[in-house]
Structure 1
Amino acid sequence: MDGETYIRTVEGTFDDISFAVEQAITNEGLVIDLTSHVGDMLARTKDDVGGSKDLFTNADIFSFCSALVSREVMEADLANIQHCPYTIFVYETADEPNKITVGHRYYSGKTMMPVNEMLTKLVDSGTK
């Protein structure tokens, strides 16, 4: 699954879906370390880098870690530290307003399956 992405697309407002994803994360007792406002950054720097179009209406990435899942995958392989924190992205494009995409990257290797399962569960929970 290396390089693949798990994606769910749902109808709704960006704020509502983004909040639902945030709640799915925190309801599992996880703490969001950082919310990256990638859409805002790309809009703000578009002219500076020669961008020709707006990519997103809204786009955020939630970064967080799980002590339980991280311990499990790092006990299996210490090199799995490189993947922490884990992320879930949420975005909306101008071409398809109120069509919100939520997802996460798949991590390769058998030892990272617990992380993939956790992230998929969170995405599914936030997009019900």
Structure 2
Amino acid sequence: MTRSFLMATVLGGLMGVAGAAIAEDTSTVYEFDGSFEDATFSVESAIVGQGLVIDYVSHTGEMLNRTAGDVGSSVKLFEAADIFVFCSAVLSRKVMEADPMNIAHCPYGIFVAEREDKVMVGYRNYPQGPMQEVQALLDTIVQEAVGD
């Protein structure tokens, strides 16, 4: 999974966030009532609480802010944005046994972003079929993190 794909997913999911949960074609986004730091702690706790290991935290917001001038932009997209990257051995094996090409969806990611004084938590939507079980897990984690 490339950083540009992750960024495109995050950006696509953040367009027009207005309700408690917005389901778009690309992602599902929930508003978080609290600070960015509280949201990242809550997401990390919810992932670990499912018995999963976070492989990597991508500090995408920092990278975008740091490199804006290098790419000729003055637009600040996020105050902060992190993507938690992890996998589930059980679900990954299950969905890849159903279709080995589901490897394209692994690892999984949950993002936390702050933009225009709003903090949001979300994830990429997956295709119909076996990947819906992964999407259900992501939704469970995010709902726990946002307190729903």
What is the TM-score with the length of structure 1 in the denominator?
0.92
Instruction: State the identity %.
Output: 48
The aligned runs of 1:33-52 (5 Å cut-off) are 33-52=55-74
Q: Taking structure 1 as reference, are residues 64 and 127 closer, same or farther at Cα in structure 2, changes over 3 Å only?
A: same
Aligned to 2:121, what secondary structure does the other structure show? strand
The aligned runs of 1:82-121 (5 Å cut-off) are 82-93=104-115, 95-96=116-117, 99-121=118-140
Q: Deviations over 1:42-86 (max 9, x none)?
A: 110011101122111110000000011111111111111111100
What CA distance in whole angstroms lies between the structure 2 residues aligned with 1:2 and 1:37? Answer: 23
Given that 1:61 and 1:89 are in contact with CA atoms closer than 8 Å, whether structure 2 keeps it comes out as: yes
Tell me by how many angstroms 1:3 deviates: 3.9
What CA distance in whole angstroms lies between the structure 2 residues aligned with 1:54 and 1:78? Answer: 39
- Residue in 2 that maps onto 1:68: 90
- Residue in 2 that maps onto 1:17: 39
How many aligned positions are there? Answer: 125
Which segments of 5 or more consecutive residues in structure 1 lack a partner in the other structure?
Answer: none
Given that 1:107 and 1:113 are in contact with CA atoms closer than 8 Å, whether structure 2 keeps it comes out as: yes
What CA distance in whole angstroms lies between the structure 2 residues aligned with 1:89 and 1:2? Answer: 15
With a CA cutoff of 8 Å and minimum separation of 6, indicate the structure with the bigger relative contact order.
Answer: 1
| Two-structure CA RMSD over aligned residues (Å) | 1.4
Given that 2:60 and 2:83 are in contact with CA atoms closer than 8 Å, whether structure 1 keeps it comes out as: yes
What is the TM-score with the length of structure 2 in the denominator?
0.80
Given that 1:3 and 1:107 are in contact with CA atoms closer than 8 Å, whether structure 2 keeps it comes out as: no
Aligned to 2:78, what secondary structure does the other structure show? coil
Q: Deviations over 1:87-127 (max 9, x none)?
A: 0010001x22xx21100011112111111100111110111
Given that 1:2 and 1:107 are in contact with CA atoms closer than 8 Å, whether structure 2 keeps it comes out as: no
What CA distance in whole angstroms lies between the structure 2 residues aligned with 1:105 and 1:3? Answer: 9
